[in-house]
Structures are given as structure tokens and as C-alpha cells.
Amino acid sequence: MNRFPVEIIISNKPQARDPEGETIARDLVHKEGFHAVKDVRTGKLLAISIEAEDEESARKLAIKMCNDLRLYNPVAHSISVRVEHQI
Amino acid sequence: MISNALQTTLTAEEMQYARNLLGREPTHLEWAMIDAEWSEHCSYKSSKPIISQLPSTGSRVVLGPGYDSGVIDIGNDYVLTLHIESHNHPSAIDPYGGAATGIGGVVRDILCMGTTPIGFLDSLRFGDIKSSDHSKWLLKNVIRGIADYGNCIGVPTIAGEIEFDECFERNCLVDVVCIGVGRKDELLLAEATNAGDSIYLIGGTTGRDGIHGATFASRTLAADADRERSAVQIPDPFTKKLIIEATLEANRRGLLRGCKDLGGGGLSTGLSEIADKGHTGIDVFLDLIPVREPDMTSTEVMISESQERMLLVAKKGCESALRTIMDQYGVSYARIGEVTSTETIKIKRADETLAALPTQFLANAPIINRKANPPTSPRSFGSIPPPDTRKTILELLASPTIASKEWVYSQYDHEVGIRTIGKPGAADAAILALPNGKFAAVKVDGNSKVCHLDPYIGAASVLAECCRNVTAVGAEPAAFLDHCQFGDPNDPDIFGAFSLTVKGLADFAKTINVPCVGGKVSFYNEDAITNRAIKSTPVITVLGLIEKTEHITTMSFKQQGESIIAVGSTKAEFSGSEYFNLLHLDGGHPPQLHFDLEVRTQRTILELIRKGAVKACHDCSNGGLAVALSEMAIKGEIGAEIDLRHLSSSSRDDELLFSESNSRFILTTETPRAVLQHLTDNHIPGVELGKVTGHELNLVLPNHTIRLDLEVLQDAYCTSLGRILEPWQK
Amino acid sequence: MRIAVVQFPGSNCDRDTVHVLSNVLGLDARLIWHRDFEDDSFDAAVLPGGFSFGDHLRAGAIAAHSVAMRTIRKMADQRKPILGICNGFQILIEAGLLPGALLRNSCLRFVCKWTTLQVENPDTPFTCALEKNSKVRMPIAHNEGRFFADAKSLNSLRDSGQIIMRYSNENPTGTTEEIVSVSNWNRNVVGMMPHPERASSPLLGGDDGLKVFKSMMEWTP
């Protein structure tokens, strides 16, 4: 069995507004002159490590965990799951 | 992505009615507008004829039902506004966002009148949190949603109630009330009365979130409710705060003719309602509406329910001043239309007219007369086992509906605004200081267990209890809001219960002479999986006025030696009670309500308070005398010696302690003889129970005595909710 | 004495603060919109509570970049009294005018309740009307009130008398060493999590908060 570092990012669905991201962009980033930065969206990061046979199994397990435990609300949020190479 | 196929909740009859009235086939956009405006949620088509029975006039009423908020005159040129909103369906699938945007919605209604929001109340209903993780999840996130939103905009949540019952497991109820204050000469009516005025859309951009929200609320929850994604709304209290500041300032400077909340049905409903009230028309330029997503259809734009948007009607010539204020606060705005004298809502894109509907048409859905069955008699409840009294008292104090809600209200900033005199939990109603030296007392109440047994008496009892709570703090009830929540109105039993509910409210309101200044009706609180409708749930909010500081009365025992008097009659009435809930007993007739006696009792208590004869006062309701006395002891941190042997002719502990008979108060006084005499003079039963003293509740009952230490009472009452919801915290 | 109460987008205790200063205590206090706050000739300034910029990113993080803070910095250098209440405290920390950091409450919930505080150092413009070790009652209402500083910094703050108030008999937020208020080295800039403007009348629950503002009038640097 191998250990895989997995990053789960929970954020508002792409088609939903992200008021926090908008405020940071408008009232801080653009106000202070970083006009090359076009868009800011925020999210919550869970950095976990999973014991699995391979990357694909680790990924599948992470997604199942997020769904079963309601780590995010599929009505309002989307998740992105990224598996690094094994530790 | 909304398909081009017609998604509608209109019946075939309604569609034909629309065709006949218009004299042609409506366009796709027009159908969408009619669908939204004529949904149950927006039009009250099933309920209008019934709720018109509610009395709505009175010496203090400036505006009754039919406006964004009810308005009460409180003297010295000041008014109070009040409104109730619910977000039941959205909260069932996204409790955080649903509850938060519920707060966002109700505050707009207060703001639209040109008044400053000064307080929220929340009335919530969930399934059994002891056994259901789902209900725990809903409750925690609803509270967090209300807290985050209310705290951020700086409006205190000052009172509330939570009821638990299995019928709410999949259909939670989230009701929020907002109170506002303002000057009478700054009141805004949501009317577009003058042709040439400009319509501004301010706040957030328009996107695809919330499409079909009004119709979502007008259907039962589908089996795949978790996927009802486009009906979810994203809360943004920061933007709301800026909108509040900017709008109030624009109003103070006299720049606005009207202001309209954009809620159910979005722009379509908002525009037609302001034109309808003003007897004018509006031309709307679709291209000028700021949209968040590319390629939105005209339909999507008109019925989107994206949050944090409002319509302002700017007086002709004041547009520039308005824009300066919006710029100062950083509120986005766009001039999207103009008031006309055509009495038509016209939606234009470039040179094309996509919709042209007569204003009167949209805002006046055809009434549906639904079938109402008479009520069935409740079944009998069988026999009641002899109680383990001590155990039952502690279980009642710890039961979620009764237990201290400190876990909840400590998450709400209830002090911001420095008006909160009556803090949550301290008295029967919340108390806010008003700018003219008076005080507002507000309470929200519901009791679905009792209403389920008898909708007529149940509803009247809820209104009575709410008035009782306001009276107990030294206020005279001035007005009420009703929110009637039921299942599918196509079910004649349910519609019958609704009709009786409103009749019960109307009859008692007339007896006590308290007008209804607003309210809501929410049907379709049931779901396709369990096919279970909620129990009848009228939720009532009463607003009262306290004239002088000296009249303010809280429930805690104040000092050693005070006499404790029970006002009213205690009978063996348990149906719908928390005691029966503990015993899993159901059925029977709810406690009687003698309208005249109830009104006379309340008036007499208010007289006694105004005379200065009352030190502490508490109404007697959930959990009966046992809970009322315990709460007074816990809050005061002093005990009492109580003798219940002369309370009634009963010799059963439960009939004395846990009965939920109506029209009762407990008060303390230093002049018991005078108080008892005053009660007798007004033909109201009163019995002296004992004295405030010591550190325990000493209850002398017909067959034995029970002693309950203050610490034991406190432990049961104060820690219960925290233990259920966060068992890992200390 | 002219006092500026700085209003940011999202501040919500600004009017409460001006009311107590002007109407209850009779001081010359006025609300200044952050972008308009350029006049450093005011005698004192208060950054009120609320949710400036929605508390987005971190509480106080965006407001710390406001032009208003340039003026506050100048006033701080001039040793004028500057008080940050709740969100105001958070802004002063983010702007580097006060030491430490304010993190999320350890119970992970917003907490609103009346608390008993102990005055640790009466030698500031906001505590000189109070006795050392005296107890006062004021309400708190916040999500991010857990004061944090590493061991070395804490020692230094203790030694230099920069810890101004602590909770007396409880710790509802898990704040380090029960700390609710700290000052800068010169002790003219003070931040506090509790709300003195809300403890301004017996009818509201107590008026100990008035002494915090009255101290400004008695202060001699």
C-alpha cells in the first residue's frame, strides 16, 4: 500500500457568486494596483494523506469521503481533488 | 441551464384565463412572468379570500397587509414596521444559504418602507435532533446562516423560538421576522406613481441563481431535492449593509419615490407590483440590466432571484444625487427603466418589445377556490401512567423545545444598536428601546402539536399565548403578523385546516382588538419521499408597546420574601403538551380557550404591572407550572417554597404541574393581598403559592414534597442543547 | 476634545459609539467616512466594531490598507489616544499598530455575552479612570477574538505593561492568558475586544463602559 498526499479544495460552484473573492479583488487587489490579477475566488483546503493501491483509487476514495460525510454541500459547492505522487 | 421548453406550474385553466384576458397567446417571456407572479408564493391565489377575514384596522395602524411591511404609529411622529419571511424549501437543501438569504430578504422589506431595521426574531422547526443527524445538521447550519448574516449587517437577533417534531424532519421551517423604526414623514410606499421617474436596479448582478425560486416554493420537495441547484441563493451581507446605508441616506435626502424588494419572481414580480400600486406602467430596457453570465435569455433575466438586489424609484431630477450616494458606498446601480402612464409593463430589448402585459393583469392572479373539508375529531389518547414527578420535571426542562436556547442566541449579536433592553431568555418577550422613550416588546410563537389537534382553537391559542407573552413584560399588544404554514392546498383536509386556522386567528384578534398588519401563507410544506405534510403551523408575531421604563418586567425571581401568585385556572389539560410528547401520547382536545377570560386576564395583569404591583411575571405555557416556576428560579438564581395543594381540586401531580391550560400567569409581588383582591374584583382566579426563598424549589404536592436544588435545575435546563449538539465541548 | 470615529464599509457599531460619546458623555465626536479621514488634527480617534469589508480574507485585513490608516498612524506617532473596539482592534493589529494576532474563537462559534473583566494596567488613555485590578462588566460579540502571540512576545508584552485587560473568571473564546485588551509600546494605542459603548446604561446591563471613554478626558500623557 502506498501513501498519497491529496488536496481537496471546496469552493462555491463556478456559476455561483463568491462575494468574498469579489471583495478581495475589488477592495484590495485592484485597489492596490494589481490590475493584471483578473479574478479571485476563495475556497477551503483540506490536505490529507490516503493509503491506497494507486493514485486513481486514492482519488476515488477522497471523492467518496467528501460525498458520504457531506464535507461539502453539492447544492452550493464544488470540489476539486488533486492527488500528488506518492510520499 | 433553463431549456426553452415551457416550465410552468400554471394549470390549464389558469393558462386559458390568461389567454382570454390578454386576447392573444402570451410570448415565452410573458408566460414566465405570469408563471412567477401567479405562483402561490407570490400571488396568494388560494388564500386571499380566506385571509381577508383577518381584522387589519386599528387606531395605530398606518398600513396593513398588502405592502412590503405593516406599519404602526408609536407616537411622536415615529412608526414601527414589521414583516415576516420564510425560506423553508431553500433551507431544507442548503440550510446555511437558505437561512442567511431569508434574513437578507426580510430586511429588504423593512428597508423598502424607508425605515431602519432594528431587530430580528427567528422561529424555527426541525425534526428530532436527539435521533436525527440530518436535523442536527440543518439546525446548526440554519443558526450559523442567520448569525453570519444578521451579525454582519449589524441588526441584532433579539428573540426566537424553536420547536421540534418529527413532521419537520424533511420539511424544516425557517421563519424570520424583522422590525424597523423610522419617521412617519420618511415612510416610503412601494409605488411608482409619477410618470417620468426613473427605475434603478441596485446591488448585486443578475445571474442564473434562484431561477424558479418562487415556483420552487410553490411545489412539494421532489425526491431529488438535493439537486435543486438553481434554486439556491448566495448570501452577501456585506453588500446588503452597503445597500442599507445608501438607501436610508437617499431616503433621508428625499430622493426616492419608492423602493421595492426583489424576492420571489425577481424583476418580473417587483416591477409589476410597484406599477400596480401606483396605477402606472413601466418600460424596462433589458440591455441595461447588468448580468453576471453571458447569454442569459430574457426570461432568465426577468425571473432570476439573485440576491442583494433592490429597485429604487428615483424622483425625476434626483438621479444625479442618488448616483453620488451609491458611488460613495460602492453600491452598484443601473438605470433600467422609466415609469410611464401606459399602465403596461413593457420589456424591451433594443427596438424589440418582448413583453407587454397590462399591470393590473400581472399583479392580480385569478383566485382559486379550493375545497375545504371539515375537521375530523382527534382520537383519544388512552390512559396516562402515574408520573415520576421529579424525573419528569427535569426531563421537561432538558427537552429541546423547552431547554435554554443560550447555545443559539449567544451566536447572535443581540446587543448591536444598543437598544436591546430585554435580552434573549430574560423575559417572555424581547424589549427594544425606541427613539421616543417608549419600548417595543416583540415575541414570536407557534405550537404545531396543538394546532394539529384542533386548527381553530390551536390558532387562537397561539395568538393568545403570544399576546400573553408581550403582556407579561408590561406591554400592550398593538399588532400582529401571521404566517400560516401548511402542506399541499389541493388536499381538502389541509385546506380545511387552513381555513379554520385563519378563522381562529380572526375571531380571537377581534375579541382582543389587535389588528393583523401583515403576514404570509406558505403551502406545499411536504415532500415526495415520505408523502408527509407538516402539522398545521401558524406562526404568530405580536408587537406591543411599553409606555414607561418602570413597566418593564422580566421573569426572574427578584428577591427573598416576594410572594408568588398563580393567576388563572389549572385544569387537567395535556393534549398537545410537552408532557404528552415525553410520554409519546397523542390525541385528545387541546386546552380550552375562553376568549373573554383570556382577554380580561391579560388586561388585568397589565393593570397590575402598570400600578407597580408586580416584581416578576411569566406566562405559563410549554411544560406548565413546573417549567414556569423553574425558569423563574433559574434566571433569578433564587429558589422558592411552593404549596400547590390549593391550586385546584386535583390530587395528581401531573394535573397540577404539567397541564398546559391557557390564560395563566405566574407573578411575584410584595403586596399579595392587594393583588389577589384586584384579581377577584375582575373575576379572575388567583392563588398564592408561596414565597421566593433559598436555593431550591420546594414543591409541596397533595401526596408528597419534592425538592429540586437550583444547580440540578440549571444543569438540566442550561446545558441540554449544547450536550445534544456538541457533545465533545465542555 | 475632538474625537474622530472612523467608519469603514461594513462598520456597524459606529453610530452606537458616536451616540455614547456625544449624547451620553457630551463630547465632540463625529463620524468620518474612511476615505475622507485625512485630518490628523483630531485629539483622539476610535475605530468602532463591525464587519469592515465583510470580514473578508481576515477580519480587519482589507480595512488595514485604507487611506484612513495613514492618518491613524500619524496620530499614533503624535502619541494621541487611539482606541480600537472589536473589529477596530482587529484593524489596528492588521495595520501593525498593535502586537499579536486575533484568531478564530476556539469554540468555533460567534460568542455574544456579558463578561467580567479585570483591569491590568490603568496607565492608558482608556483605563486611567479605573483602578488597577478593579472589575468591570462589558459585553463581547465576536467570532475572532482569540489573542495570540508567541511566548517571547508575550513575555515582552507582560514586562512592558502592554496587557491592559483580561477576563476575570472565564474564558469564552480561548484567548491566550485571558487577554482581551493590549496596547502599543507607548500605551496610547489600545485595542479591546469587549464593547464599552454597549455598557453605557444600567438599562442595557451596566454602565462600566462609560469609564473607558471618560478616561480620555482625564488622561495626561
CB-nearest partner of B234 from A19, A23, A73: A19
d(C-alpha C188, C-alpha B345), whole Å: 61
Label residue B2 by pLDDT band (50, 70, 90).
Answer: very low
Co-location of B145 and B216 in the same domain = no
Residue B190 has pLDDT above 90, yes or no: no
Q: What dihedral do alpha carbons A53, A59, A65, A68 form, nearest 10°?
A: -110
Show which of B365, B383, B403 is a domain's final residue: B365
Co-location of B80 and B21 in the same domain = no
Share of chain B above pLDDT 70, in %: 95
d(C-alpha B409, C-alpha B403), whole Å: 13
Residues B67-90 as b/e (b if ≥16 CB within 10 A, e otherwise) read: bbbbbbbbeeebbbbbbbbbbbbb
Co-location of B205 and B105 in the same domain = no
Say if C124 is an interface residue toward chain B (CB within 8 Å). Answer: no
Report chain A residues whose CB lies below 8 A from the CB of B229.
13, 74-76
Domain membership of residue B221 (yes or no) is: yes
Domain membership of residue B106 (yes or no) is: yes
Of all helices (H) and strands (E), which one includes residue B539? strand B537-546
Say if C56 is an interface residue toward chain A (CB within 8 Å). Answer: yes
CB-nearest partner of B236 from A13, A19, A74: A19
Segment A55-59 mean pLDDT:
94
Q: What is the pLDDT of residue A73?
A: 80
- Domains annotated for chain A, with CATH where assigned, are 2-83 (3.30.1280.10)
Q: Quick one: B489 exposed, middle or buried, by C-beta within 10 A (0-12, 13-18, 19+)? A: buried
Segment B335-355 mean pLDDT:
93
Report chain B residues whose CB lies below 8 A from the CB of C174.
none
d(C-alpha A14, C-alpha B632), whole Å: 52
Q: Which three cell numbers stand for residue C141?
A: 460579540
Co-location of B343 and B239 in the same domain = yes
Q: What is the pLDDT of residue B728?
A: 76
Label residue C181 by pLDDT band (50, 70, 90).
Answer: very high
Residue B4 has pLDDT above 50, yes or no: no
Distance from CA of C56 to the nearest CA of A (A): 5
d(C-alpha B664, C-alpha B601), whole Å: 8
Least confident of B28-32, B245-249, C10-14: B28-32
Segment B308-323 mean pLDDT:
95
Say if C56 is an interface residue toward chain B (CB within 8 Å). Answer: yes
Domain membership of residue B386 (yes or no) is: no
Report chain C residues whose CB lies below 8 A from the CB of B96.
none
Nearest to B162 by CA among B178, B180, B182, B139: B139
Nearest to B372 by CA among B536, B215, B235: B536
Q: What is the pLDDT of residue A87?
A: 66
Q: Quick one: B423 exposed, middle or buried, by C-beta within 10 A (0-12, 13-18, 19+)? A: buried
- Mutual angle of helices B672-681 and B595-611, in 10-degree steps: 140
When the pLDDT of each residue in chain C is averaged and rounded to a whole number, the result is: 96
Q: What is the pLDDT of residue B226?
A: 44
Say if B331 is an interface residue toward chain A (CB within 8 Å). Answer: no
Strand residues in B96-156 grouped as ranges (E):
116-126
Domain membership of residue B709 (yes or no) is: yes
- Distant-in-sequence, close-in-space partners of B223: CB < 8 Å, separation ≥ 6: B527, B528, B529
CB-nearest partner of B238 from C54, C195, C200: C54
Report chain C residues whose CB lies below 8 A from the CB of A20.
54, 56-57
Q: Are B374 and B288 in contact (CB under 8 A)?
A: no
Nearest to C130 by CA among C1, C26, C219, C195: C219
Q: Give catalytic residues of C, as residue numbers.
A: 86, 195, 197
d(C-alpha B532, C-alpha B528), whole Å: 8
Q: What is the pLDDT of residue B392?
A: 98
d(C-alpha B231, C-alpha B88), whole Å: 12
Residues for chain A: how many in total? 87
d(C-alpha B555, C-alpha B617), whole Å: 5
Q: What is the pLDDT of residue B530?
A: 80
Co-location of B585 and B726 in the same domain = yes
- Distant-in-sequence, close-in-space partners of B322: CB < 8 Å, separation ≥ 6: B200, B250, B255, B256, B312, B314, B333
Q: Which amino acid is at C107?
A: C
- For B388-444, the pLDDT digits (tens) are 999 999 999 999 999 999 999 999 999 999 999 999 999 999 999 999 999 999 999
Domain membership of residue B125 (yes or no) is: yes
Interface test with A, best of B1, B91, B94 (most A CBs within 10 A): B94
Co-location of B193 and B160 in the same domain = no
- For B481-509, the pLDDT digits (tens) are 999 999 999 999 999 999 999 999 999 99
d(C-alpha A85, C-alpha A2), whole Å: 10
Least confident of B264-273, B342-351, B596-605, C57-66: B264-273
Co-location of B169 and B258 in the same domain = no
Residue of C nearest to B148 (CA): C110
Distance from CA of B139 to the nearest CA of C (A): 14
Label residue B265 by pLDDT band (50, 70, 90).
Answer: confident
The SS3 assignment for A18 reads coil
Q: What is the pLDDT of residue A17?
A: 81
Label residue B222 by pLDDT band (50, 70, 90).
Answer: low
Chain position carrying cell 460602492: B330
Quickly count: other Cβ atoms within 10 Å of residue C201's Cβ.
Answer: 16
Show which of B549, B580, B596 is a domain's final residue: B549
Say if A20 is an interface residue toward chain C (CB within 8 Å). Answer: yes
- For C118-150, the pLDDT digits (tens) are 999 999 999 999 999 999 999 999 999 999 999
Could you say which residues from 53 to 72 on chain A have a Cβ atom under 8 Å away from some Cβ of chain B? 70
Could you say which residues from 23 to 82 on chain A have a Cβ atom under 8 Å away from some Cβ of chain C? 23-24, 27-28, 31-32
Domain membership of residue B53 (yes or no) is: no
Label residue B213 by pLDDT band (50, 70, 90).
Answer: low
- Mutual angle of helices B455-472 and B492-512, in 10-degree steps: 40
Report chain A residues whose CB lies below 8 A from the CB of C62.
23-24, 27-28
Q: Quick one: B333 exposed, middle or buried, by C-beta within 10 A (0-12, 13-18, 19+)? A: buried
Quickly count: other Cβ atoms within 10 Å of residue B304's Cβ.
Answer: 29
Nearest to B234 by CA among A15, A69, A42: A15
A-B Cβ pairs (cutoff 8 Å, strict): 45
d(C-alpha B440, C-alpha B546), whole Å: 6
Domain count, chain B: 3
- For C38-48, the pLDDT digits (tens) are 999 999 999 99
Q: How far, rounded to the nearest angstrom, does the alpha carbon of residue C27 sit from its chain's CA centroid?
A: 18
d(C-alpha B515, C-alpha B541), whole Å: 12
Residue B729 has pLDDT above 80, yes or no: no
Label residue B220 by pLDDT band (50, 70, 90).
Answer: low
Q: What is the pLDDT of residue B229?
A: 46
d(C-alpha B64, C-alpha B70), whole Å: 5
Give me the domain span that covers residue B258: 10-39+188-365
CATH code for the domain in which residue B496 is found = 3.30.1330.10
Report chain C residues whose CB lies below 8 A from the CB of A44.
none
CATH code for the domain in which residue B629 is found = 3.90.650.10
Distance from CA of C64 to the nearest CA of A (A): 10
Nearest to B9 by CA among B217, B298, B222: B217
d(C-alpha B357, C-alpha B30), whole Å: 7
Label residue B231 by pLDDT band (50, 70, 90).
Answer: low
Q: What is the DSSP string of chain C?
A: -EEEEEE-TTB-SHHHHHHIIIIIT--EEEEEEGGG---TTSSEEEE--B-GGGG-SSTTTTGGGSTHHHHHHHHHHTT--EEEETHHHHHHHHTTSS-SEEE--TTSS-EEEEEEEEES---STTTTTS-TT-EEEEEEEES--EEE--HHHHHHHHHTT-EEEEESS--TT--GGGEEEEE-TTS-EEEESS-GGGS-BGGGTB-THHHHHHHHHH---
d(C-alpha B83, C-alpha C44), whole Å: 41
Say if C9 is an interface residue toward chain B (CB within 8 Å). Answer: yes
d(C-alpha B177, C-alpha B83), whole Å: 6
Nearest to C211 by CA among C148, C126, C146: C126
Q: How many CA atoms lie within 13 A of B570 on its CB side?
A: 32
Distance from CA of B529 to the nearest CA of A (A): 19
When the pLDDT of each residue in chain B is averaged and rounded to a whole number, the result is: 92
Q: How many CA atoms lie within 13 A of C202 on its CB side?
A: 1
Co-location of B106 and B232 in the same domain = no
- Domains annotated for chain C, with CATH where assigned, are 2-218 (3.40.50.880)
Could you say which residues from 59 to 88 on chain C have a Cβ atom under 8 Å away from some Cβ of chain B? none
Q: Quick one: B393 exposed, middle or buried, by C-beta within 10 A (0-12, 13-18, 19+)? A: buried
Domain membership of residue B239 (yes or no) is: yes
Co-location of B329 and B263 in the same domain = yes
Residue B230 has pLDDT above 60, yes or no: no
Say if B553 is an interface residue toward chain C (CB within 8 Å). Answer: no
In order of B318, B579, C36, C67, the CA distances from B635 in angstroms are: 54, 22, 47, 48
Residue B232 has pLDDT above 70, yes or no: no
Co-location of B174 and B296 in the same domain = no
Residues B714-723 as b/e (b if ≥16 CB within 10 A, e otherwise) read: bebbbebbbe
d(C-alpha B181, C-alpha B168), whole Å: 34
- For C7-42, the pLDDT digits (tens) are 999 999 999 999 999 999 999 999 999 999 999 999
Report chain A residues whose CB lies below 8 A from the CB of B227.
74-75
Q: Model-level pTM? A: 0.94
Report chain C residues whose CB lies below 8 A from the CB of A19.
54, 56
Co-location of B138 and B206 in the same domain = no
A19:C54 CB<8 A: yes
Q: What is the pLDDT of residue C163?
A: 98
Residue B463 has pLDDT above 50, yes or no: yes
Residues for chain B: how many in total? 730
- For A11-50, the pLDDT digits (tens) are 988 877 888 999 999 999 999 999 999 999 999 999 999 9
The SS3 assignment for A42 reads coil
Residue B652 has pLDDT above 60, yes or no: yes
d(C-alpha B530, C-alpha B541), whole Å: 30
Label residue B8 by pLDDT band (50, 70, 90).
Answer: confident
A19:C62 CB<8 A: no
Q: Give catalytic residues of B, as residue numbers.
A: 41, 87
Quickly count: other Cβ atoms within 10 Å of residue B729's Cβ.
Answer: 12
Co-location of B539 and B558 in the same domain = no
**C-alpha R_g of chain A:** 16
Q: How many CA atoms lie within 13 A of C176 on its CB side?
A: 16
Q: What is the pLDDT of residue B219?
A: 63
B416:C56 CB<8 A: no
Show which of B365, B382, B400 is a domain's final residue: B365
Q: What is the DSSP string of B394-443?
A: HHHHHSTTTS--HHHHTTS--STTS-EEE-TTTSSSEEEE-TTS-EEEEE
Domain membership of residue B233 (yes or no) is: yes
Residue B227 has pLDDT above 50, yes or no: no
- For B509-565, the pLDDT digits (tens) are 999 999 999 999 999 898 878 888 999 999 999 999 999 999 999 999 999 999 999
- Distant-in-sequence, close-in-space partners of B24: CB < 8 Å, separation ≥ 6: none
